Amino acid sequence: MNRHYLPLIATIVVFVTLFAVGGGMYKNFLTTRVLGNILADNSFIIIAALGATFVILSGGIDLSVGSMIGFVGVSMAVLDRAGWHPMASALLLIVFGMAFGALQGWIIDFCEIQPFIVTLAGLFLLRGACFMVTLDAVPLRHEFVREFAAAKIPLPGNGVLRSSALVMLGSLMIAVAIAHLTRFGTAVYAIGGDRESARLMGVNIRRTTIQIYALGGTYSALAGVVYALYTSSGYPLAGSTLELSAIAAVVLGGTLLTGGVGFVLGSLFGGMILGLISTLILFNGSLNSAWIMISSGVLLFAFIVMHRFLVGTFNLRGTA
Amino acid sequence: MMVADVLRPRGAGLPRLRDTRAVWPVLALIAILVFDWVMVPNFFQIRVVEGRLFGNVIDILYRATPTALVSLGMALVIGTKGIDLSVGSTIAIVGAVISWRIHAGDPHIVILFEALAVAVVCGIWNGSLVAGLGIQPIIATLILMVSGRGIGLLINLLYGGTDPSFDSPLLQGLSTGHLWLIPTRLVVGAVLFVALWLVIRRTALGLFIEAVGGNAAAADLAGVNARRIIFVAYVLCGLLAGCAGVILTADTHTSDPVSVAMYIELDAILAVVIGGASLGGGRIYLGLTVIGALVIQALTTSILISGLRPEYNLIVKSVVVMIVLLLQSRNVRHHVTMLFQGRRR
């Protein structure tokens, strides 16, 4: 078996174990209803994490994710008030997300400024833009929003797949296809593995970097659309620190922050593990919400140490 | 080396000045202050009110002190080619500990040291993960960043958590009081800066940190214990964040782990980068880092006094930061130079 699958398998094992533990502790936990809710409630984090996976696979980082989600949300709400159809504003904002991401990618490569700093400026810029669009929570009143929230596919058992979960699963499939079936996907892995070798092999670094951040921006904007439709409102502080959840989901999903190693599919399970933790703590009922932060941190720690061990033992980054 | 550098006559004053890293952050600060002076002619006026100095410049220094302290710690960590995302969480934990121990009735001078000790423990945790386990700094410190504010909330629960506010003449004196005419926190900040400068520049520590950040393997071969140096940098960063935490907590005299020092890690990293240090490590500029923190605070203050709506704060901040960074980028400077030279011909 390919040793590169080890972190991914570990992630899936942890997810299944946590789910089983929940089933042992609480009645009605091991149901498709809980699973469907976890998928729907965390769909925007997972969508954002999918885009972040490409960025992290290439050895970069995107901190502008949370602000992008907030900006897309308030813009959709304000455009909704101006009489736009949500689908039209969604399309416009996704194009904006792509353009904004491309600009970040260009600055990173052309100006040789670290991705951390460029996307940090992006974080501030977009959050400031949120405050300029509106300072209040604005509701989305269009009929379509209600239809979107109501749309669902029944699952065996009592569960349902809500529309946000469906959008998430759709974008997951696209992301997996991009990562593993296209030349661009291979270039992302190549740059993350060794940038200089990739360049010498003829990968167009500038174009690929722009594409990577454009893809990240697209997915963040899509996450913002799903978030706005899911909460049927736009709020200028929405999505604060969500970039951290997205990065945590990617890391829990088995992708190395040094780049070059990991799978898009892992981010789905990483995001679901984060969702599972908060669901478990909510089921308990007596625990303080502070435990969500702490247990996420503990789990992150455990995974990182495990990755460290796996990388050291199985030479995941090596060529041998 | 770029073509333009080769063609440029050696030792020409202006170009060399332009290539000096120190120029851009200082110029940015001067530009902001001149802007303020144009907007508000009595901007530089300093008065004495109730036995202490008052004025816009004092206000900028006053508000920039916590960020500057955190930035100094960040400068050390970035010097080792690391990063510390957990400083905000460290401040949240320090605040919670101060509030908890005051409710428990400890003497306030002891609480000061307890708070700093907790901050050092946070630094030791980060240092152990990065130097001990060899985990990538950004992800190692992400752990404490994610869970730290939760730990703060739990500490608040230790005494019921209903009323985390407190009164402490000693701690509040350190934060909002004044010594002779000068706000105490400026004195504290200056003392800490001088102490840190002595430790970094008058011992070999600074040199070692820069050596490790420049090339850890080479530094190791040269006999520098890279791991120990990196560990010390994170502990110092935690300690300085703890000092900022004491000031910030005493300022509001309450513990609010969820929102205290939100985004301070980002401001601190920006301050270091505006100060001309690369995230790639190998360089520590203590003075310029403080200038960087002042640029950030002066920007916020000037947006307030210019009458611009505070919503614009973040946008203006990000745009100014990008301009400073673009000016520091060789590639951009090169292209701009080419553009002008082409036009002249």
Least confident of A183-187, A237-241, B193-197, B329-333: B329-333
How distant, in Å, are the alpha carbons of A252, B75, B117, B274 from that of A298?
11, 27, 22, 34
A76 and A225 Cβ atoms separated by less than 8 Å: yes
Question: Which residue ranges form the domains of chain A, and what is each CATH number?
Answer: 3-314 (1.10.3470)
Interface contact B273, partner A, CB < 8 A:
yes
Structure ipTM: 0.75
Beta carbons within 8 Å of A94's beta carbon, 6+ residues apart: A218, A221, A222, A225
From chain A, pick out residues whose CB is under 8 angstroms from the CB of B273: 117
Of B146, B314, B325, the CB nearest to A117: B325
How distant, in Å, are the alpha carbons of A124, A262, B142, B213, B292 from that of B269?
13, 28, 14, 16, 10
Beta carbons within 8 Å of A254's beta carbon, 6+ residues apart: A7, A8, A10, A11, A262, A263, A266, A270, A307
CATH of domain B62-326: 1.10.3470
Q: Do B150 and A290 touch (CB under 8 A)?
A: yes
From chain B, pick out residues whose CB is under 8 angstroms from the CB of A247: 142
What percent of chain B shows pLDDT beyond 70? 91
Q: Do B313 and A128 touch (CB under 8 A)?
A: yes
Q: Do B315 and A132 touch (CB under 8 A)?
A: yes
Task: Give the C-alpha separation, B281 to B211, whole Å.
Answer: 9
Q: Exposed (0-12), middle (13-18) or buried (19+): which is A17, by Cβ within 10 Å?
A: exposed
What backbone phi and psi angles, to 5 degrees, belong to A190? -65, -45
Confidence of residue A319 (pLDDT cuts 50, 70, 90): very low
Interface contact A286, partner B, CB < 8 A:
no
Q: Which of A110, A301, A316, A317 to mutate to test the interface with B (most CBs of B within 10 A)?
A: A301
pLDDT score of B342 more than 70: no
> How does pLDDT run across B200-232, given as a tens digit for each residue?
888 888 788 787 877 877 877 887 788 888 899
A226 and A44 Cβ atoms separated by less than 8 Å: yes
Task: Give the C-alpha separation, B39 to B232, whole Å.
Answer: 45
> How does pLDDT run across B4-52, given as a tens digit for each residue?
444 444 444 444 555 566 777 788 888 888 888 887 777 777 777 777 7
Interface of B with A in 79-98 (CB under 8 A): 83
Q: What is the largest CA-CA distance in chain B?
A: 76
Q: Do B318 and A117 touch (CB under 8 A)?
A: no
Task: Give the C-alpha separation, A16 to B311, whole Å.
Answer: 45
Hey, where are the domains in chain B?
62-326
From chain B, pick out residues whose CB is under 8 angstroms from the CB of A128: 311-318
